[in-house]
Amino acid sequence: MTPHELTTLTAADLHAGYAAGDFTPTEATSAALEAAAFGGAHLNAVASLHADEALAFADASTARWRQGAPLSDLDGVPVSIKDSFPMVGHQRWHGSALADGLPPSTHNGAPVRRLHEAGAVPFVKTSMPDFGLIGSGISSQFGIIRNPWDPACNPAGSSSGAAALLAIGAGPLAMGTDTGGSVRVPAAMCGVVGLKPTQGRVAYDPPKIIGVAGPMARTVADTATLLRAVGRPDPSDHLSLPGVFDGDGSPIDDLSGLTVGVFTAIPGPVPVDPEILAAVDRQAEILAAAGATVTRVDSPMATEDEWAAMTAVLMTRGLPELLRMPPEAWDVIPPGLRAGMLAFRDLSAVEHVRNEKALEAARAVIAGRLQAFDYTLAPATAVVSYAAELEAPVVDGHAVNHMAFSSPFNLTHLPAGSVPVAMSASGMPISVQVGGQRFDDAGVLAVMALLERERGFAPAYPYALGATAGARP
């Protein structure tokens, strides 16, 4: 197969091809590296790329396949790793130029260790915005990260480079992280699949109270395969859940007896894009036709005060990353983030605890709204696209909180995923978000797979190694 053809394959396709001897992990990884190099040069999607290291992992996998002894379904499959994860020998910038000069990591994060145990090939680290605290692809270290469907547009964040590389075929799988939507929103903007698992489903070191590691792919089935590899406990994370995830991402056909709550509004003056609302309506019809009882409900995050409490806590928690450097270095940080963090610089300990308590109170209310249903359906984002240079979408002069649909699931530790279901008139992908009950990651993926199957088309991804120059992003 040609390098272009290899970059269009799913993880399942690669596994089958290795088993049949049609091609090798070394060939697939070489193609992924070539696509990633393009994504780094043209989309600023790459944090670090050690080709010799990746090819050594791939060569070892090729030898295992020739011996008929692969380690797992992911043996030899290229997987990109977000910059926020430690990875031996690679710098961890956490998206920020403030980390320049720090030594490379000396250990692998828990998900990276799980991938090595499965024989997968972590072949590149992907770029992200500063500290993962911006929902856009703006980074003081990597520059403006761009959306491959239209490089003038934003891929969102903070798993910005991960989503962009998936869309151009630089590996079929990616590991991202999600604190307020950082897997699901960039996945939606780039037309790929992203899952925020139940909190603790994927071990994450250091342990997080809100943030999770999440799998990303171009198909729901591949997303499930990646979660099977990394969805297990680890001693480094005392908050990780027991047991091993074992769902396969197959679509559910019968939703009889199950309830689905549909919410389409967010706090603030800007309405959701009509094309997105139409896509949600169509998915609600599909779920109802499968037997679900579908009910329209108010947004689980119903007030701007609830979002303000989350913002205050996240900015305060992120502030030490800024304050560890002298003030003269702060100018490199994107201005909106810098101002947002410094607004809480003089917060007293009592005021911070007050904000934490306000967030806990909001969490309880939001959980009650979401847990009234077996599943929920909502937009994954409020806008179809926005300019690459912006720290947040702006519509009619108003900043749009495009993570308001995703963040309730972080607060409540519930699983949720985004799946592309339509294309906009502008040629950009449109996704919806499916949420579920705690521990029901498999059920969420099954509903997502149903919508994926029923959408009636395969996204025409802008592969970097297209047959013609016109196929490149």
Q: Which residues are catalytic?
A: 82, 158, 182
Whether the CA torsion 28, 13, 471, 137 is positive or negative: it is: negative
DSSP 8-class letter at 143:
E
* Strand (E) or helix (H) holding 58: helix 51-66
CB of 84 closer than 8 Å to CB of 159: no
* 3-state DSSP assignment of residue 172: coil
Sequence-ordered list of residues with C-beta below 8 angstroms from that of 416, at least 6 positions apart, any chain: 184, 195, 196, 376, 406, 409, 433, 434, 435, 436, 444
CB of 57 closer than 8 Å to CB of 115: no
Alpha-carbon gap, residue 307 to 297, rounded angstroms: 18
Helical segments of 231-348, H only: 274-289, 304-323, 335-342
Instruction: Tell me whether residue 301 is exposed, middle or buried, using C-beta atoms within 10 angstroms of its C-beta: 0 to 12, 13 to 18, 19 or more.
Output: buried
Alpha-carbon gap, residue 357 to 227, rounded angstroms: 32
Closest CA to 50 of 81, 25, 8: 81
**CA dist 166 to 125, 126, 186, 328, 418, Å?**
12, 10, 11, 37, 14
